[in-house]
Amino acid sequence: MKKQIYQSCKFFKTDMPCIYHKKDGRICSECSDFRETTGTILIIKKDAAGDVLRTTAILEPLKRKMPDHRIIWLTAETNKDVLSGNPYIDEIWTPSFETSQAISFLKFDTVINLDLSPDCLITAATAKADKFYGFKYKKDGSVSCSNKSAEEWFLISHNDGLKKANRKTYQQFITEIAELPCYGEIIVPLQKPSIEKANIFAKKHHLAGKKVIGIHTGSGSKWPTKRWHERNIIQLIKMLAKKKYPVLLFGGMEEKDIMEKIIKNVRGHLVNTGYNNTIPDFFALLDLCDVVITADTLALHIATGLKKKVVALFGPTSPYEIADYGRVEKVITPLDCFCCYKRECNKKPFCMEEIHPETVFSKIEKIL
């Protein structure tokens, strides 16, 4: 029986027949789709959603370096949909007792941990691997960094002054930490049902053949200081309306009140995409846009991965960590206190309010 089942195949499952057996009943010895795997790579990156997504930039070069390895990615349950459908990932694992058991029991060829949260550090420390890149706990509770680039990232992660002075992108850092020759594109998987829903949405609102502008209104509850004020968004939409550009408004339940206020104050070419879209639907709706205006949020990384033209707004966080791929126009607050990494701020004027809609509009006109 063991000789009849090729356990080294990329498509092998321990508890069920593989996809090709289920498709047409073929057995291992007769299968032309057999793919030999020579090892397993475990990537640990759980939070936050935007960071998980932009970390996918290491997958293309990693697969080129180790084409016959399986890739397992450990992420938070809430971020599973960010990775679902990614062609470079063989399995997505989420934290559980069983997952912890598997990681401590199995032997990996390579473990890459790019997450500094305590649970990820202990997970990385318990994983057995021939090669390790990134961060893990030592027995004394201190953090071990695998190379100089990991040490540099660790230092700037704990010093806002160094964050502000840094000029290397996040993608540069993770590429160096993983000892890869380059980084690739951010990979945004589009699901067929979500594409179909987005196409219906586009047809309903007569978007075909038009230059569509997407505006993401939020920043999430953890980073309210990143949010561009709705007063500026309203002014920008009115300027876009004069040019007859259709505008899609994006946000979640946390932005519902803001979005309704914007809609109340603007008429014409504004379409609300909804407040409670799934991650796959959010991906597909953003894909309808030609230009996306967003703060430093998940939407920025999605739009970049979808190869959209992006106008990105920066106040409390670093614009220099963002890889622009030749598609991102960065608008930085003129205030000297930018890149403070404060999640609460009572200063007047406030940094994001000082990004004027006229400046953003000129960037849109430039890249369209």
Instruction: State which of 22-31, 263-272, 284-293, 347-356 shows the largest mean pLDDT.
Output: 284-293
Extract long-range pairs of 89-92: CB within 8 Å, 24+ residues apart: 89/59, 90/10
Mean pLDDT for the chain?
Answer: 94
Mean pLDDT confidence for 224-236: 94
Listed range (28-32, 97-101, 289-293, 336-340) with the worst mean pLDDT: 28-32
Question: What global pTM score does this model have?
Answer: 0.93
Q: Is the pLDDT of residue 83 over 50?
A: yes
State the maximum Cα–Cα separation within the chain, in Å, rounded to a whole number: 73
User: What is the set of domains in the chain, with CATH numbers?
Assistant: 1-36 (no CATH), 40-177 (3.40.50.2000), 192-367 (3.40.50.2000)
- Cα separation, 264 vs 246, in Å, equals 16
Examine residue 48 and say whether the peptide bond preceding it is cis (omega within 30 degrees of 0): yes
Query: b or e along 216-250 (b: 16 or more beta carbons within 10 Å of the residue's beta carbon)?
Result: bbbbbeebebbbbebebbbbbbbbbbeeebbbbbb
Phi, psi angles (nearest 5°) of residue 35? -130, 110
Contact present, 115 and 135 (Cβ < 8 Å): yes
* Nearest-angstrom CA–CA distance, 199 and 190: 13
**CB 283, CB 189: distance < 8 Å:** yes
- CA 133 and chain centroid, separation: 20
pLDDT of residue 2: 46
Q: For residue 185, give every residue at least 6 positions away whose Cβ sits within 8 Å of its Cβ, in sequence order, or none.
A: 57, 60, 305, 307, 325
User: Residue 3: its pLDDT value, please?
Assistant: 56
Tokens, residue 276: 């409670």
Judged by DSSP in three states, 93 sits in strand
pLDDT band at 106 (very low <50, low <70, confident <90, very high): very high
pLDDT digits (tens, 9 = 90+) for 268-310: 679 999 999 999 999 999 999 999 999 999 999 999 999 999 9
Query: In degrees rounded to 5, what are phi and psi of residue 14?
Result: -70, -30
In the prediction, which pLDDT does 1 show? 44
Q: Of 214-218, 219-223, 232-236, give the lowest mean pLDDT range.
A: 219-223
